[in-house]
Amino acid sequence: MFAIGGLVRRLPLKKWSASLGCSYHTAATLPTHYTLPSGDKIPSVALGVWKSAPDEVGRAVTAALNAGYRHIDDAWIYRNEEEVGAALAASSVDRKDVWLTSKLWNQFHAPEDVEAALDESLAKLGTDYLDLYIIHWPLALNKDGSYYNKELTENPYPTWKKLEELVDKGKVRNIGVSNWSIRRLQNLTANPLKYQPAVNQIEINYWFPQPELLEYSKKHGILLEAYSPLGGDGRVGDSLRVKEVQDIAKALDITPAQVIISWHVQRGTVVLPKSVTPARVVENLQITKLPDDLFEKLEAAARAHKPERSLTPSWPIDFDIFE
Ligand SMILES: NC(=O)c1ccc[n+]([C@@H]2O[C@H](COP(=O)([O-])OP(=O)(O)OC[C@H]3O[C@@H](n4cnc5c(N)ncnc54)[C@H](OP(=O)(O)O)[C@@H]3O)[C@@H](O)[C@H]2O)c1
């Protein structure tokens, strides 16, 4: 099981809300960290760096470290590990104080390819270990042009065993998955695993709140990490304009993005907001516990509409990757 760590965090200790007709003390009690089965403590808020362009991502990482982030969520496929590594190396923050995640891309699932893929990420990031290494998608691509390997996609235990070996070698401290359904988690964990998946990184936002997967994951001690937490590029504006989000922002004198990021952590997930805008990077770390009634209002609104994913890959596959 993962445990909720120390209490957080700054932010305005006010304010009287005319619109909601009551006063709220937003004293800080959200977790700064969760404890994984390994005993490692993973910070609850990370800087996401997908689609962070060259010449932008390094500045974003520097801004994040200066603001107090100690968690960066990267991936081989984001093609920016080198610049992220350079920004980490240039900072005065010790490597051991930063939680660094990267992800195994689809074409490297064959057991003989896993370690070389990790080594490439390690070299680019300028480190000799990752805090967390994640299988990015449940899709094992082939190198022979036949597109994907059905067997390894459906039964990724050989890939997982290789990841377990990398834990034992000390190259990664925790291993996890991404974009996995309950069915896939059950398939994997039916094997005699040495290390259970510590996390599952999935899309979670106002438009796609995934309550069933959240409940399942809490029950089975798998920490969820919320990607596209603001709705991603395409829906961030819509998310920030949601009436409940706006009302809470006004009531607590915080920004709509802070309401949403706080909601994620209050639900018990890690949250991975991406920004290359330094002021937003700072803003997104300033989270606070929402009063229970406001939290419940936002939770109910998120669950009340038809769930809509922001991210659906257009790969030519003959199965639903999310099932
Ligand atoms: N495992 C996976 O398959 C997977 C898939 C998708 C994402 N992820 C991870 O999740 C991270 C976040 O996901 P995402 O980038 O899709 O979506 P997101 O974080 O929900 O949204 C990013 C967008 O929100 C804007 N934004 C950020 N903070 C803001 C603020 N305070 N006010 C207004 N706008 C703000 C950003 O603009 P600017 O950058 O211009 O400021 C950007 O356009 C990724 O970077 C990646 O690490 C993982």
Predicted confidence at residue 143, as pLDDT, reads 81
Identify the sign of the CA torsion 317, 205, 302, 267. Answer: positive
Q: Where are the alpha helices (DSSP H) in the chain?
A: 57-67, 81-90, 111-125, 150-154, 157-168, 182-189, 211-219, 232-241, 243-252, 256-266, 278-285, 292-304
Instruction: Tell whether 23 is covered by a domain.
Output: yes
Which CATH number does the domain housing residue 13 bear? Answer: 3.20.20.100
Catalytic residue among 24, 34, 78, 129: 78
Pick the atom of ligand 1 nearest to 255's CA: 31
**Centre of ligand 1 from the C-alpha of residue 182, in Å:** 24
Predicted confidence at residue 19, as pLDDT, reads 33
Instruction: Tell whether 320 is covered by a domain.
Output: no
Instruction: Tell whether 322 is covered by a domain.
Output: no
Domain count, the chain: 1
Residues of the chain with pLDDT under 70: 1-28, 145
* DSSP code at position 205: B
State the CB neighbour count (10 A cutoff) for residue 120.
15
Pick the atom of ligand 1 nearest to 257's CA: 31
**Centre of ligand 1 from the C-alpha of residue 253, in Å:** 23
Instruction: Tell whether 310 is covered by a domain.
Output: no
Q: What residues line ligand 1, using a CB cutoff of 6 Å?
A: 48-51, 73, 136, 178-179, 201, 227-233, 236, 257, 272-277, 280, 283-284, 311
Instruction: Tell whether 318 is covered by a domain.
Output: no
Instruction: Tell whether 311 is covered by a domain.
Output: no
Instruction: Tell whether 319 is covered by a domain.
Output: no
**Centre of ligand 1 from the C-alpha of residue 52, in Å:** 9
Range(s) of the domain holding residue 72: 3-304
Predicted confidence at residue 144, as pLDDT, reads 76
**Centre of ligand 1 from the C-alpha of residue 103, in Å:** 17
Query: For residues 179-215, b (16+ Cβ closer than 10 Å) or e, as one string?
Result: bbbeebbebbeeeeeebbbbbbbbbbbbbbbbeebbe
Active site residue 157: no
Please check if 264 is assigned to a binding site: no
Predicted confidence at residue 157, as pLDDT, reads 98
Instruction: Tell whether 321 is covered by a domain.
Output: no
